[in-house]
Chains A and B, each alone.
Chain A
């Protein structure tokens, strides 16, 4: 069975500084990896995904993530944080199920707080 670990419950960063939100995973076979963001009282919104190809994946709102197979990690990064980036971030992993479906398993989430 697949699993995701987000080791930090909360990440604090000053506006304008780079940010990193960590994620490690466990899955049989090739990993398919995702990041989602959740604002208060809202559903999750897709940020980016790694399916195959370049290890550095670019996504929405200036976010990117780096896939590292040897470390089984998929950390989320942004060069310059904004106060509006403050939200809950979820990493997810999936194998490809029969019929080409994804069945994402989510981590417990990391609260990102960007201070003005």
Chain B
């Protein structure tokens, strides 16, 4: 079974530039999460999708961050314009929700996209 795919693995940009990260979840996983992990901290949820609908985006800085999952499969997270404090690893995760039931609760993570803003 293929895991969660993310790209690019590494990105270096200057402040005020824009960047986009892509995530392809495990096939059949309806729920997709984007987390931000700053060095020395735990992952912080940015946005959660259930199929192509947003479940929670309360911690997404909407003035500069946007995310979409148009067809309920892969997703893109964009930052525009980037700030120095956006330097972090952006983790994508997905989870399975069996038909008619609640989710299993286990998140499968990709390897992350490391962003450095200079």
Contacts and interface: CB of A to CB of B under 8 A. Distances in A.
A41 B112 CA distance: 8
Nearest to B38: A108
B45 A44 contact: no
Nearest to B109: A43
Given A90-B42, A100-B97, A106-B43, A46 B107 contact: yes
Nearest to B100: A100
Interface in A1-60: 4, 32, 34, 36, 41-46, 49, 51
Contact of B109 (A41, A45, A96): A45
Nearest to B110: A43
Interface stretch (B12-20, B48-56, B68-76, B80-88): B48-56
Contacts of A109: 41-42
Given A43-B4, A43-B112, A97-B55, A103 B45 contact: yes
Interface string B27-54: 0000100010000111111001010000
